[in-house]
Structures are given as structure tokens and as C-alpha cells.
Amino acid sequence: MIASGTARERGLAVDETEFREFFASQYGRLCWLGFLLTGDRAEAEELAQDALVRLWWRWLVRRPDDPARYVRRVLVNRRRSLLRRAAVEARALAWTRLEPAPPPGDEDAMVLWGAVQALPVRQRAVLVLRFHEDLTEAEVARLLGLPLGTVKSLGHRALTRLRERLGSTDLDHAGHRPKEAR
């Protein structure tokens, strides 16, 4: 049976004044934490609001012993959950897209394209954004929502795999063979 009425009518002890004070004292900090995690002010505010709403529902049942710690954990876990969901959606989107082929007649491009397609999705994304779109590592990190170090290591691993797959250690930084080696 679903209980109806307010929390007070159901016999739950809720101190709304205490929650309002907590909200006022923590909202700015939570927005800042969200901004540090996302780099986006609007997304940070969404995370902070979502975390506080989830805290409110918890508060209705039983006030957490350390509400500040609880709400921070909720915010971080929510961010992680959203990142996982975005990764799943990106993989699903990648599976449904038609893969463009390189221009016919360019054998080197076809071999390189085959090797790039064999890379894991994140490594391929880093290489395409870095070298095809000519973005900096920091821009790629921001765009993919990854730490800069992760972007660097994914790029390094991708180039290493391309070198192994193509059987050449003389690829330039973009994965192309120098003109003299062709």
C-alpha cells in the first residue's frame, strides 16, 4: 500500500528549516564540485540540484548522519552514471552508423582506414579528433569528457596499435607513412 499525505502526516520527522539551511550552505559548493567534474556550468547546476533532490527524499525517511558527505557522494555517483550512460549511447550510435570508406584507388588510405576501424572506439575517437579534426589534447579531453592523461594514453596506445597492425615503426605522429618510406 502506498502511503499518502505529507511526511509529517505519515509520522516522519522532517525539519524543513534545517534542510533549507543545509541547502543554502551547500548549493554553491555542490555547483562548484559539479563544475570541476564536468567543466560545464549548466550541467554542474543540474547535478547539484539532482543531488539535493535525492538528499531531500532520503531526508524524509531518515536524515543522513553526515548530509554533506552523503550529497557529495550522490553528486559524484550521478556524474559517473551519466558518463556510463553516454558511453553506452555512443557505442550504440557507432554500431548503427554507416562507416564511410576512403576514396577508391588510394591503397594506403584503405589500409590505414582498415587499421583505424580495428581500434577500440575511444582510441579511434581520440585519433580522429586529434589528427583529422586537428584538435589539441585538451580540447579532445573536454569534448570526450575524459581526463587529459587518459586522452594522452589512449592516443599513444592507438598509434602503437596502428604501427603494429601496419607493420611499420616509421609512422609519423598522425599515423601516416613518411613519403620516403612509401
137 grid coordinates: 589534447
What fold, for 16-93? Rna Polymerase Sigma Factor; Chain: A (1.10.1740)
Residue extents of the structural domains in the chain: 16-93, 98-181
159 grid coordinates: 598509434
- Cβ contact 79:38 at 8 Å: yes
99-108: Cβ within 8 A, 24+ apart:
108/177, 108/182
Tell me the pLDDT of the chain (182 aa) as tens digits. Answer: 344 445 445 554 567 888 888 889 999 999 998 888 888 899 999 999 999 999 989 888 888 888 989 999 998 889 888 888 888 887 777 665 555 555 666 777 778 878 888 888 888 888 888 887 788 899 888 888 889 999 999 999 999 998 998 886 555 555 555 555 44
Nearest CA to 79 among 116, 117, 40, 107?
Answer: 40
CATH class of 98-181: mainly alpha
Distance CA 132, CA 174 (A): 8
